[in-house]
Structure 1
């Protein structure tokens, strides 16, 4: 028996070791093949005997239930291996009946190494084991409705054992206390309902015997319709109002208990003089300082509940270096001479050829020949020359023939240190700090609050004098850091969207979404845009991630700008963003029919031309992808016949036709990846073909600066903070590709001359643009020029994306004049022929008139 027992034990041991080795081996193989391991430690409330488990979902995938499989000194433990490699995993602690302990929680795999600790009654996710204090206490008490407080403790209690659950509230009378989950009397979360509405700028203390006391804070009440209706301020005097004999200040902060104006003598002062402000109507606070306050430096200090915050005035129009303090400014003193002189009015948006540019990129290269490198004034310099004696900067843009220069953000942004005058720094500027003040790094003296204002106006004036309109890129969809921004310091929680579980919405991908649908957020956006239009004489606004904003706000922007100048262009990125806003309210392409006079970037023609921006190897019409002819045709028509699931454009002025922009790979860099085997000549021809399709299509034309000379960013997909060597306009390359620059100049000249390329209604396109039969990898159409008062009777356009020359049958046997072929473009006749058939060379566009 002993020998047998020993033998069995030995066999069992071998099997156990084998099993462990196999399990380890299989686990290692699973992780090596792309698995993600998560370990979750959960500490339930004391004496909690519920059968808790986990609902876990990898980012972008469906969820699944997992049990806790072990216990340790902290509590319950679960180790889970998920198929696939993920950077983020979500989970919920719940019962099978979907009673939840807390809301959605997330694991950042990289930062947390896949292991986290969570505690009952605490929504935080710890990346290290926390020290648990089992002393009963209040963990949160906030006003979520005008007459209720959400009260939370770390240890559950029975709300029926004492009147009102033993909860006492100073400053208001409790009407009732009820659980947040109906019928759940033992709980750590209750709603304390008051007899009368609470004063949001008042101070309340709430307590419970054995749990201590705390000051009641402001919760999601600020995101209710009642709050908006109660505190919406209609006046137009928020911020500072300068007059020679006095300056008035008004700030909106309805949840503040106290508010002070703080004045400083210098930009780097640590302490200032505090002036109490008086509470006024609709949650605003006011004060006034006598005398001429030109140049006064100031901030606001605000007391919310029991915490002081200091904030820059969100409406401020002048700031100190790095925008850390506001400045009172007599703006008339910043106007250039003849600033009030009227500029030439623009007519239809379809007439625009937009040139997208970063202020620094234009001039920073040493070969640019521009003195004020990287500055507003650099874009205002005339007479500059670069390699080969070719024009650069302002003169170059004028010669190219574009109508509008669209600058990447010009407002004061967060991530470039303006005090570092010598050290090269770069950022696109999609990180707003002070929306109504210009960026200081583009000024010759960022320490002078007036310099950035004056020099930006000089830049705008110089472009206007050269018949160039100016569009400003605006970013009202998010801020750099929600918690440090003035919006959140003055009225915590109001200006941003939140998910149902109370976490900030993140449709933008940068941690916060502006709640444009709220009245005061909407008011700020509309007034900010109109301020820039009036004060800086701007001719257009490009809205970054416009799909985060709501339809009503964008329509109000359009309406306000129409009062100033109906020719002001409004365009934006109408992507369908994942933000908690009803689908029919999002300002995206699908709702374009609800937004007259607002244009959207057409990503459909962009990707069908060159391939998806989200896949380096994906190809499009110009570089070899088959069966793309129909979607190219829809793009040529300005998308007016797209299915509603794609876009609901009702007018060609709602469509921005483009092939590249500052985001993603440049077209040239994309071609290096999709067609590396192609010769330089063929790559150039593909590139020219894309630009020619864009410039002969209906809608609003858009060119990325440098696109015309094969701009490269060395394969950098996202150069938002890359060095000048990546982002600068390369004027050597402009000289090298002069023939291609002349080709784009010719196409722009052609577009300007023949209004058939710029039809201003959908009906005109339907009546006058006709596609004609052509072989695969080609698209051909005619334009009835008579309807648009052009000199020609008919225009024919043929795009051949094939690798071979192709013969096309024209609709008329007539005398045809060739204006564009594979080598040249313009309004001069290259050659003429009589007949109805023409051979179009490979990778080329032909434009003919009869």
Structure 2
């Protein structure tokens, strides 16, 4: 057998190895893909309790093992063991507390009422998405939230939680990792334990710490589905943060206990490669790992009705796997959105030209990546919290900001030699760029502004906050914001709050009363984007045709969306962004313009008239106007 035919054989074998437990009232079938024969153990509860039976598995083909246990095992728990320690397998669909044992149940019992009638909210183009990255615990846990199910999946089923999102106008929530993870003990849930969950254990089961009963395998699944259903009923899509690039550890992982040495990459000296920065990296190019990722994504779509995926450290995965995932998802619903971090956290034991890094997005149609070009052009570099850029009135990043405004595509008016990180365009279409200025990683926007613009008062912070998001939401990429920015959240200056307590991460809903103008600006900015197709053309050729930049000045970028771009009712729209600490005069075509955005206020009914020619943009703010 040639190397190629052997690889093809492995891929064929890998397609049907992840249905490890199949239940019916008459019998339960256990299957395992492993190089070694193992046993199945049946328990009467999920973490301790009585061992009911141990059954040896039988060969079912190359590296395949199977056993059928007669009788109704519903409500029992199981593990596999090939001599490397007990594991629920690599694809457990239900688990007991802390995920140590798989749970035997009928998945139909986990469905909320009318689950079959749940439908994906309509989106015609990724350009129409407005993504709100959130952690339901941060969102709900503070006493000021008024939410009952604080820190739980069910928090996002409550009217107050839903109504805030609807009023803001977002139409997709990106929820942080929701699968069963390692660093929180579900048997001792208390306010002292906190973690974002980027330490995977069981990838295909919701984490019990966010359910009202972590000991109930049914309840965690039911409550997650109720969350999805409630958001869908509100017209909001649900995007899942997936962390296939590494596991909590290597030695004790379900992968290693099932198929030792297979699922990970290793350096030439035999040590685990660490492209994730977490001590290990998975090998997406290997047949079983690739098939695992494919089947996992499809499972979350089909079982949980998930509408999109954000790939953590997507740059650890190989291009071929990501393209296969995109193709498989297209066969289900091409509007399901896929994006990720176009980088790794360290060097990978795989050729970089074959990895799904941002520079290779051109080879991955239909997959998007975060624009660190735009992010850092606005707020300053990732590696220095105190250094500012456009928002701090520091010139030199204007061309990088222009590159972000067009959505990372080739544009004749963007000089790529002056762009901060990329010297050639990396996106085929503007919808392959995630436009953002802050996310859960790094400082939130307010903290970064306080750090990089010393002595800024509250009014100045608000002006710069709103200016930053104006650039993001009126760009041609897919806009993305961090939860709580609309209420001027801060995280007490903490750079990486992945395990910080609620006092750092939670949203203070009192800010809604303290800074009502900020929420109003965000809401109207989002509505402006939604109402005007010129801001979301979704096509590179249209952007090059219809978006024209005005001559730049230090910390001043302006552009025109011309000739009823995208069928817009406004003929020409001008957006001027002034990062300077003083007003700035800009030459624009002579005409009669209606101002709709000025000095921290957006009103599509009009804020006044301007004649064109030379216009003045107030300090640290945006001027938005149009003619008919």
Give TM-score scaled by structure 1 length: 0.70
**Residue among 271, 286, 296 paired with 1:518:** 286
In 2, the alpha carbon distance for the partners of 1:660 and 1:669 equals: 10
In 2, the alpha carbon distance for the partners of 1:410 and 1:282 equals: 34
Q: 1:319 matched to which residue of 2?
A: 95
Higher mean C-alpha displacement, 433-442 vs 224-233? 224-233
Q: 1:431 matched to which residue of 2?
A: 199
Q: 1:579 matched to which residue of 2?
A: 348
In 2, the alpha carbon distance for the partners of 1:503 and 1:423 equals: 37
Q: 1:168 matched to which residue of 2?
A: none
**Residue among 43, 49, 62 paired with 1:264:** 43
Matched, 1:801 2:579: yes
Q: Is the 8 A contact 1:749 1:826 kept in 2?
A: no
Matched, 1:249 2:18: no
Q: 1:771 matched to which residue of 2?
A: 549
1:106-505 → structure 2 map (5 Å cutoff): 228=7, 231-232=10-11, 233=13, 234-235=15-16, 238-253=19-34, 255-256=35-36, 258-267=37-46, 268-269=48-49, 271-303=51-83, 308-341=84-117, 342-382=119-159, 384=160, 393-505=161-273
1:69-108 → structure 2 map (5 Å cutoff): none
In 2, the alpha carbon distance for the partners of 1:300 and 1:228 equals: 27
Does the C-alpha gap of structure 1 residues 343 and 548 become closer, same or farther in structure 2, counting only changes over 3 Å? closer
Question: Per-residue displacement from partner, 1:515-557 (whole Å, max 9, x unpaired)?
Answer: 0010100000010011001111111110000000010111111
Q: CA deviation at 1:466?
A: 0.7
Q: CA deviation at 1:776?
A: 2.2
Q: CA deviation at 1:238?
A: 2.6
Q: Is the 8 A contact 2:73 2:104 kept in 1?
A: yes
Q: Is the 8 A contact 2:191 2:502 kept in 1?
A: no
In 2, the alpha carbon distance for the partners of 1:794 and 1:753 equals: 15
Q: Is the 8 A contact 1:309 1:490 kept in 2?
A: no
Q: Is the 8 A contact 2:547 2:561 kept in 1?
A: yes
Q: 1:849 matched to which residue of 2?
A: 626
RMSD (Å), alpha carbons: 1.8
Matched, 1:532 2:313: no
Q: CA deviation at 1:826?
A: 4.1
Structure 2: unaligned runs, 5 residues or longer: 411-415
Q: Is the 8 A contact 2:130 2:479 kept in 1?
A: yes
Q: 1:593 matched to which residue of 2?
A: 362
In 2, the alpha carbon distance for the partners of 1:778 and 1:792 equals: 23
In 1, the alpha carbon distance for the partners of 2:96 and 2:425 equals: 43
Q: Is the 8 A contact 1:719 1:727 kept in 2?
A: yes
Q: CA deviation at 1:680?
A: 2.1
1:649-664 → structure 2 map (5 Å cutoff): 649-664=427-442
In 2, the alpha carbon distance for the partners of 1:817 and 1:316 equals: 58
Q: CA deviation at 1:616?
A: 1.7
In 2, the alpha carbon distance for the partners of 1:553 and 1:645 equals: 26
Higher mean C-alpha displacement, 655-664 vs 582-591? 582-591
**Residue among 786, 797, 801 paired with 2:564:** 786
Does the C-alpha gap of structure 1 residues 597 and 364 become closer, same or farther in structure 2, counting only changes over 3 Å? same
Q: Is the 8 A contact 2:319 2:354 kept in 1?
A: yes
Q: 2:413 matched to which residue of 1?
A: none
Q: CA deviation at 1:784?
A: 2.0
Whichever structure has more strand as a proportion of its residues is 1
Q: 1:628 matched to which residue of 2?
A: 397
Matched, 1:615 2:393: no
Q: CA deviation at 1:671?
A: 1.4
Q: Is the 8 A contact 2:204 2:300 kept in 1?
A: yes
Does the C-alpha gap of structure 1 residues 648 and 840 become closer, same or farther in structure 2, counting only changes over 3 Å? same
In 1, the alpha carbon distance for the partners of 2:384 and 2:192 equals: 32
In 2, the alpha carbon distance for the partners of 1:622 and 1:272 equals: 64
Question: Per-residue displacement from partner, 1:318-360 (whole Å, max 9, x unpaired)?
Answer: 0000101001221111111111213332221111110000121
Q: CA deviation at 1:835?
A: 3.5
Q: 1:740 matched to which residue of 2?
A: 518
Does the C-alpha gap of structure 1 residues 834 and 526 become closer, same or farther in structure 2, counting only changes over 3 Å? same
Whichever structure has more helix as a proportion of its residues is 2
Q: 2:456 matched to which residue of 1?
A: 678
Structure 2 counterpart SS, 1:282: coil
Q: Is the 8 A contact 1:803 1:842 kept in 2?
A: yes
Structure 2 counterpart SS, 1:739: helix
Structure 1 counterpart SS, 2:208: coil
Runs of 4+ with deviation above 6 angstroms: 224-227
Highest RCO, 1 vs 2 (Cα 8 Å, sep ≥ 6): 2
Structure 2 counterpart SS, 1:557: helix
Does the C-alpha gap of structure 1 residues 283 and 826 become closer, same or farther in structure 2, counting only changes over 3 Å? farther
Question: Per-residue displacement from partner, 1:64-106 (whole Å, max 9, x unpaired)?
Answer: xxxxxxxxxxxxxxxxxxxxxxxxxxxxxxxxxxxxxxxxxxx
**Residue among 617, 624, 627 paired with 1:840:** 617
In 2, the alpha carbon distance for the partners of 1:636 and 1:343 equals: 29
Q: Is the 8 A contact 2:120 2:307 kept in 1?
A: no
Q: CA deviation at 1:423?
A: 4.7
In 1, the alpha carbon distance for the partners of 2:120 and 2:131 equals: 18
In 2, the alpha carbon distance for the partners of 1:272 and 1:551 equals: 45
Does the C-alpha gap of structure 1 residues 435 and 470 become closer, same or farther in structure 2, counting only changes over 3 Å? same
Give TM-score scaled by structure 2 length: 0.95
Q: CA deviation at 1:828?
A: 2.6
Q: 1:96 matched to which residue of 2?
A: none
In 1, the alpha carbon distance for the partners of 2:513 and 2:104 equals: 46
In 1, the alpha carbon distance for the partners of 2:150 and 2:31 equals: 38
Q: 1:125 matched to which residue of 2?
A: none
Q: 1:721 matched to which residue of 2?
A: 499
Q: Is the 8 A contact 1:638 1:657 kept in 2?
A: yes
